[in-house]
Amino acid sequence: MNEDVYKDRLTVEQFEVTRRKATERPFTGKYWNTFDKGSYVCVCCNIELFSSKTKYDAGCGWPSFWDTIDSEKIKTEEDLTLGMKRIEVMCANCDAHLGHVFPDGPEPTGIRYCINSASLDFNSS
């Protein structure tokens, strides 16, 4: 999809996060403290990415998940911005920047997907 289409469809914050790889401030996103049952979808293309079943409070101020709904729906790449080595998480369908993944999550995966609320929509079940 053309970037101008995203610019027209998304809020300024959603566009900056998903298309320009910005990060929302911690404890400000609409889903960081949401624990309703349902699924989290990409705000750009509506693909299901995360389930409330794997969401947990990591204390970091962003929605955190210990697994994805389907690992084929996300992709990762090395991110060396901000003077540190991180692994960026993106939507495999539309390349939207979602957040980062870290190896400090709970069992059973030991993974923490630290995701910007601005990159997600929530579908309650």
Catalytic residue numbers read 114
Distance of CA 76 to the CA centre of its chain: 12
Q: How many C-beta neighbours within 10 Å does residue 18 have?
A: 26
- Distance, CA of 25 to CA of 8 (rounded, Å): 23
Residue 2 three-state SS: coil
